[in-house]
Structure 1
Amino acid sequence: MSSSPLLVFDFDGVLVDGMAEYWWSARRAALRLRPDLQLPVSAPPGFAQLRPLIHKGWEMVLLAAELGRDDHRLSDTLADYGGALDRALERWEWQPSQLQEVLELVRREAIATDRSAWLALHRPYPGVPERLRALRGEAADWAVLTTKGAAFAAELLSAEGLEPWQLFGHEQGPKPEVLLQLRSLNRPIWFIEDRRPTLEQVRATPGLTSVRCFLVSWGYVRAADLTGLPPGIALLRPERFAAPLATWP
């Protein structure tokens, strides 16, 4: 068994801030399906409030359409997010796979027609590219595990000159399943994420109790998520992230 850790990073909200692109793409995808929608060019405040709850890309498209409804109640969506998604899918008569397909089509077209403009809608979090490059000096490998399409994450990593050991997109399946597959490497696995429910799901998955889980304090995390963390999930602040791995919680 190798003693050097494999650091597995979530992408959006951990390595890259893509909030501007999320609305840009979600809005265009929603308008492809319903050209009659009245959606602002800039993201409405409600979208930022919902972002910490979003798990998969198709949800963004659905929420963009919901925010375009005159009778949409943001408080209801925040209070019962899962139920709100189910009701919205029924209301619009859409399927998650349909929404995901349109979202990825919009992104592919954006990259093909004006890659630099699409890339400019994202920004790496301060110090993140430098820290990832420094991991080599600590004999640690790093991978990316994201619900974004792998091709789009690869475009953004390439633009920053970053080369992960491996990149897993939504095409490879749910995050716990990918982490279970990585167990065969027989090395310590550290999972870094900004979505507390995902970390809690990992901790509850049989076979993943040895995975060290970290919740970053930046990204799209909610303030309430940073307190009262359960055993097995450690808070990772920027100053600790920048420090040697041996000092991490």
Structure 2
Amino acid sequence: MSLQPLLVFDFDGVLVDGMREYWWSARRAAQFLAPECHLPEGAPEAFGALRPLIHKGWEMVLVALELSRSDLDVGHYVSAYEEHTQTALAHWGFSAEQLQSALEDLRSEAIQQDPSGWRALHSPYPGIPERLRALESEGSPWLVLTTKGGNFARELLTGYGLHPQAVYGHEQGSKPEVLLRLREQGRPLWFVEDRRVTLETVRRTPGLEAVRCFLVSWGYLGPHDREQLPEGIQLLEPQRFAGPLASWP
């Protein structure tokens, strides 16, 4: 009998919509590091446009800092994100580690002081908790692999009554590195993600050629992310996700 696949889910943009929390935390961290920067309480439209490009938490804080600049060329930022990120780091004089530390410290403080308020800034996508509970009852193992801190993801999952086999945060290494370690369990790996670039990186990683990669249609996708997907990456729609694993593309 063949082994059930090990389902590996990204967190933000796949299981949970955390856009409100992203801006809330990024704004607070930016203003902590640079009190002179002025930012609106509600996320500006440009933050939503840049979100599909953001890979790690510290980048959110940097984006918030940049959005406080009156001379920012948002179009250039979107079209040359990696280049602009390096220029912005030099402009503000902060390291990625400083930005990440400010973000996580403020999140930890928020959880300690007002856990229900912090959780309320997140919303599970419709049908996700029910489907994950069904996977548990079907005997299909699943876990979470996220660039968010593992403790923050566990806090939210526990609040939704969800209990993955494990939660791997950014502390455990990059997503390809974690997937390579998971491969040693001997189960087929199915990786569900909303960031096309991450899936393409996984596909190019030696040793991960057999991982089945799924790009969810409901996450923080860029305008062209669904188009002309390369071999080995399948678009996963909500109806297929809700159905039996055998019906997944």
- Provide the C-alpha distance between the structure 2 equivalents of 1:214 and 1:71, rounded to a whole number of angstroms: 38
- Structure 2 portions without partners, runs of 5+: none
Q: 2:88 matched to which residue of 1?
A: 88
Q: Deviations over 1:167-221 (max 9, x none)?
A: 1000000000000001111011100000000000000000001100000000101
TM-score norm. by structure 2 comes to 0.99
Matched, 1:126 2:129: no
Query: Residue 212 and residue 90 in structure 1: after superposition, are their counterparts in 2 closer, same or farther (change >3 A)?
Result: same
Report sequence identity in percent: 62
- Provide the C-alpha distance between the structure 2 equivalents of 1:102 and 1:219, rounded to a whole number of angstroms: 26
Runs of 4+ in structure 1 off by over 6 angstroms are none
Q: 1:13 matched to which residue of 2?
A: 13
- Provide the C-alpha distance between the structure 1 equivalents of 2:234 and 2:222, rounded to a whole number of angstroms: 15
* 1:225-236 equivalent positions in 2, closer than 5 A: 225-236=225-236
Displacement of 1:136: 2.4
Quick check: 1:10–1:144 contact (8 Å CA) kept in 2?
A: yes
Q: 2:31 matched to which residue of 1?
A: 31
Partner of 1:64, secondary structure, is helix
Quick check: 1:2–1:186 contact (8 Å CA) kept in 2?
A: no
* 1:6-155 equivalent positions in 2, closer than 5 A: 6-155=6-155
* 1:93-242 equivalent positions in 2, closer than 5 A: 93-242=93-242
Q: How many residues align?
A: 249
TM-score norm. by structure 1 comes to 0.99
Amino acid at match of 2:71: D
Displacement of 1:39: 0.6
- Provide the C-alpha distance between the structure 2 equivalents of 1:20 and 1:97, rounded to a whole number of angstroms: 23
Q: Deviations over 1:134-159 (max 9, x none)?
A: 01233210000000000000000000
- Provide the C-alpha distance between the structure 2 equivalents of 1:161 and 1:136, rounded to a whole number of angstroms: 12
Aligned CA-pair RMSD: 0.9
- Provide the C-alpha distance between the structure 2 equivalents of 1:223 and 1:49, rounded to a whole number of angstroms: 9
Displacement of 1:2: 5.6
